[in-house]
């Protein structure tokens, strides 16, 4: 037994000594510093290449990095990509100023889907704290179960109102975890994209649109996304839509 314990300790120490994560983090910080330096020198495209490398290959980013990427793409008149990075920033750091910026660019470029509303701001603020709210709800459920079990053990009567309230509370938690979610969104990334009445190339044509418009995704069928277009259900090929990323894990923040 002592030999097994010693071997375990050696393996544990070796893991921490040779774990590559600190080296990778140091390397990523070095790359980010280099990109920021290039950005300060107005060497925007070179900085952008490094930013993209950090984001796509290493899934690492800083909030300011995302804003800089959006600014560079806007300067290059690549508005679809600019909106993409603004939306990625907003998904983790929802602020009214970013919403207004996206609405401003959307109006200038005649893009739909970027209208500023207090409801959109509330939804993103709510889902920013979704995990924390869920944890509080689950803790409340555990406390309720503990009290009910304690009452049952002590043979204390539990009123019907308490039982119904507890069932409704569990039903709300079920609804909260399974049905409350932000709509998946996407940005049209190609020119002259056909939007159809059904998920088929032979279906009726709703409209032909350019890149930059943002749409809500309601479902998917094979190579098609079901979307909302001008308050109606329509369909678009998946390769014509750039999905807006879900919030990144905070582990990737530098």
Ranges of the chain with pLDDT below 70: 1-27, 58-60, 180-182, 245-254
Q: So what's the pLDDT on residue 254?
A: 55
**pLDDT at position 9:** 46
Give the β-pairing of 214-221 and 184-188.
antiparallel
Q: Give the burial string for 157-172 (b: 16+ CB within 10 Å, else e).
A: eeeeeeeeebeeeeee
**Which of 230, 196, 226 lies closest to 213 in space, CA to CA?**
230
Confirm if 212 and 80 have CB atoms less than 8 A apart.
yes
Domain edges within the chain: 26-116, 119-179, 184-243
What pLDDT shows up at residue 182? 64
Q: Which CATH architecture has domain 184-243?
A: Roll (2.30)
Res 111: pLDDT: 92
Residue-wise pLDDT for 166-192, tens only, equals: 899 999 988 888 776 667 889 999 999
CATH of domain 26-116: 1.25.40.10
């Amino acid at each position: 037994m002592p030999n097994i314990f010693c071997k375990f300790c050696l393996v544990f120490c070796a893991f921490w000594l040779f774990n590559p994560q600190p080296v990778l983090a140091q390397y990523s910080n070095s790359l980010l510093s280099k990109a920021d330096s290039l950005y300060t020198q107005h060497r925007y495209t070179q900085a952008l290449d490094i930013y993209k490398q950090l984001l796509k290959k290493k899934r690492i980013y800083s909030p300011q990095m995302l804003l800089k990427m959006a600014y560079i793409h806007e300067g290059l008149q690549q508005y679809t990509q600019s909106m993409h990075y603004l939306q990625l920033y907003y998904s983790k750091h929802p602020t009214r100023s970013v919403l207004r910026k996206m609405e401003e660019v959307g109006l200038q470029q005649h893009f739909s889907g970027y209208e500023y509303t207090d409801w959109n701001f509330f939804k993103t603020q709510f889902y920013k704290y979704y995990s924390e709210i869920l944890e509080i709800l689950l803790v409340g459920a555990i406390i309720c179960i503990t009290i009910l079990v304690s009452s049952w053990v002590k043979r204390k009567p539990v009123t019907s109102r308490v039982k119904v309230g507890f069932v409704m509370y569990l039903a709300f938690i079920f609804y909260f975890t399974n049905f409350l979610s932000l709509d998946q969104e996407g940005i049209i990334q190609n020119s002259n994209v056909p939007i159809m009445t059904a998920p088929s190339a032979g279906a009726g044509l709703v409209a032909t649109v350019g890149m930059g418009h943002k749409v809500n995704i309601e479902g998917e069928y094979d190579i098609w996304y079901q979307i909302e277009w001008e308050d109606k259900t329509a369909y678009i090929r998946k390769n014509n839509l750039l999905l807006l990323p879900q919030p990144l894990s905070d582990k990737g923040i530098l």
